[in-house]
Amino acid sequence: MKMDGKTILITGASRGIGAAAAREFANQGANVALVARSEDDIAKLAGEIGPNALAIPCDVARYWEFEQAITATVSAFGGLDVLINNAGIIAPMAKIEDTDPDAWGHVIDVNLKGVYNGVRAALPIMLERGAGSIFNISSGAAHDPYEPWSAYCASKAGVYMLTRQVDLEYRSNGIRCIGLSPGTVATQMQRDIKSSGLGRVAQLEWTDHIPPEWPARTLVWMCGEEADGYLGNDVRLRDETIRNAVGLI
Ligand code: NAP
């Protein structure tokens, strides 16, 4: 799919799925706004991509920072076509009785409130134009309890409901909102899970994970009408139908 002239803001773009998505969208001709806290990493990636990339240091858990990131994107590229809420954290990985309450709440601040912050800040711009896509990175953990990951599972279940809610409230205004549940992906998050040694996912081999380029290519596919059947729902990358539709297998 050609994305010439489209503008995409990707959170969590300093590494993993977000960085792969930034490269993929840029390869398809899009302008990409790279959002994360690691300034050096996003600056390096922006330098590698070229003038159609803008690095914007931002903590998605802070609403005003996210709003400024969206304003900076619109001033640089003239609009915002796609928002990808990808930034996420998994720790604390521990049984509930052993979790630190502040650390637990921080996961909700980043994974759930961070998605709300993006949606809240992007909607006025998209609604004014009567068009826009919002993709939220979901997880199998949105639908089932997994491992000792109570904060992560609760946050992703909340993200899934936000996807449904945005669709309910704004589909008729031209807003396309879809979740992407990628399966297990070979990124830093899986390294952290492996080092914890806790639960079934930690037992997987590195070769069991899909490369971050797969969800990246799926996100580009989700921009097309072919994905409209998933509005208000999660696209699941474990699903062979999706892998075929995207051209991954
Ligand atoms: P990752 O390599 O650990 O990357 C996480 C990204 O989130 C980093 O770029 C990080 O950048 C950013 N981030 C974390 N906290 C942030 C904050 N407060 N503000 C802005 N950015 C923040 O993990 P990943 O696997 O690519 O994860 C991307 C998404 O996929 C997450 O939502 C994750 O839950 C989801 N997911 C991953 C898997 C998997 O198997 N890997 C499976 C299902 C779902 P900075 O640290 O520089 O801020």
Q: In what order do the strands lie in the sheet with 53-57?
A: 53-57, 31-36, 7-11, 82-85, 132-137, 175-181, 234-236
How far apart CA 138 and CA 144 sit, in angstroms, is 12
**Residue 136 located in a structural domain:** yes
Ligand 1 pocket test: pick from 89, 136, 155, 160 the residue with the most ligand atoms within 8 Å of its Cβ.
89
Neighbours of 172 (CB within 10 A): 8
Rounded to an integer, the average pLDDT of 114-126 is 99
Q: Is the CB of 215 under 6 A from ligand 1?
A: no
Q: Is the CB of 37 under 6 A from ligand 1?
A: yes
Our answer to whether residue 230 is catalytic in this structure is no
Domain that includes residue 178, residue range: 7-246
What's the number of domains the chain is made of? 1
Rounded to an integer, the average pLDDT of 74-83 is 98
Whichever domain contains 78, its CATH number is 3.40.50.720
Q: What percent of the chain has pLDDT over 70?
A: 100
- Give nearest CA residue, ligand 1 atom 44: 139
State how beta strands 53-57 and 234-236 pair. unpaired
**Residue 122 located in a structural domain:** yes
Rounded to an integer, the average pLDDT of 94-100 is 97
Given the residues 116, 152, 170, 230, select the one marked as catalytic: 152
**Residue 2 located in a structural domain:** no
**Residue 12 located in a structural domain:** yes
Task: Note the pLDDT tens digit of each residue in 174-198.
Answer: 999 999 999 999 999 999 999 999 9
Residue 54 phi, psi (nearest 5):
-130, 125
Is the entire prediction scored with pTM above 0.85? yes
How far apart CA 25 and CA 169 sit, in angstroms, is 27
**Residue 1 located in a structural domain:** no
**Residue 152 located in a structural domain:** yes
Q: Is the CB of 118 under 6 A from ligand 1?
A: no
Q: Has residue 87 got a pLDDT over 90?
A: yes
Neighbours of 39 (CB within 10 A): 13
Ligand 1 pocket test: pick from 11, 17, 63, 90 the residue with the most ligand atoms within 8 Å of its Cβ.
17
